[in-house]
């Protein structure tokens, strides 16, 4: 929160029996996460790191082979979702946009709006609608002040997205 010193985050695995196990650390403000359809890869949005980081998921749920999936330059990823072409859409609060990027960092599409984007998800009948959770962001010290401006926006006919 505002005024607190930076501290890296962790990823914890919660087993079916309720036991927890730390499976990664040193994450620069972990936010959104996505798992590939074959359950082999976890992709994590690191907001302070301005990157998407990938891990291989082992059979026991542990994580291995940490690597940068995409360096986002000035992008600040928050909530993310994976599309049918294994590209990632990420919501970006300070840059007021949602960006579609492929592994390696190539930007495929950008949707700019008038407020911070916190999360995004593909939906609709054919998964070609991008739903965006957004609000005017005045910083953590002011997040409970009026007026409230949160919205769920829908952008139809997203290109380059196939049915899963």
Tens of pLDDT, residue by residue over 104-147, are 999 999 999 999 999 999 999 888 899 999 988 766 666 667 77
Range from 9-13, 16-20, 96-100, 137-141 carrying the lowest mean pLDDT: 137-141
Asked whether residue 124 is domain-assigned, the answer is yes
On the question of pLDDT at 157 being above 80, the answer is no
Helices (H) and strands (E) in the chain, counts: 0, 13
Q: How far is CA 163 from the centre of its chain?
A: 20
User: Hey, how many other C-beta atoms are within 10 angstroms of the C-beta on 42?
Assistant: 21
On the question of pLDDT at 19 being above 70, the answer is yes
Count how many domains the chain has.
Answer: 1
Burial degree of 138 (CB within 10 A; 0-12, 13-18, 19+): exposed
Return the structure tokens found at 31: 């936010």
What value does the mean pLDDT of the chain take? 90
pLDDT for 5 equals: 85
Asked whether residue 63 is domain-assigned, the answer is yes
Predicted TM-score of the model (pTM): 0.89
On the question of pLDDT at 159 being above 80, the answer is no
Asked whether residue 73 is domain-assigned, the answer is yes
Asked whether residue 104 is domain-assigned, the answer is yes
Asked whether residue 163 is domain-assigned, the answer is no
């Amino acid at each position: 929160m505002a005024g607190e010193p930076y501290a890296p985050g962790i990823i914890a695995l919660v087993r079916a029996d309720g036991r927890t196990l730390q499976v990664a650390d040193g994450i620069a403000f972990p936010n959104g996460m996505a798992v590939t359809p074959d359950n082999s890869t976890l992709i994590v949005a690191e907001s302070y790191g301005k990157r998407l980081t990938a891990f291989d998921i082992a059979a026991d749920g542990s994580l291995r082979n940490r690597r940068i999936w995409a360096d986002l330059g000035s992008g600040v990823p928050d909530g993310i979702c994976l599309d049918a072409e294994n590209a990632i859409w990420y919501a970006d609060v300070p840059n007021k946009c949602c960006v579609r990027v492929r592994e390696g960092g190539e930007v495929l599409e950008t949707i700019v709006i008038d407020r911070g984007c916190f999360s995004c998800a593909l939906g609709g009948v054919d998964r070609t609608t991008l739903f965006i959770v957004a609000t005017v962001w005045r910083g953590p010290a002011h997040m409970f002040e009026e007026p409230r401006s949160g919205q769920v926006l829908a952008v139809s006919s997203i290109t380059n997205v196939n049915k899963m």
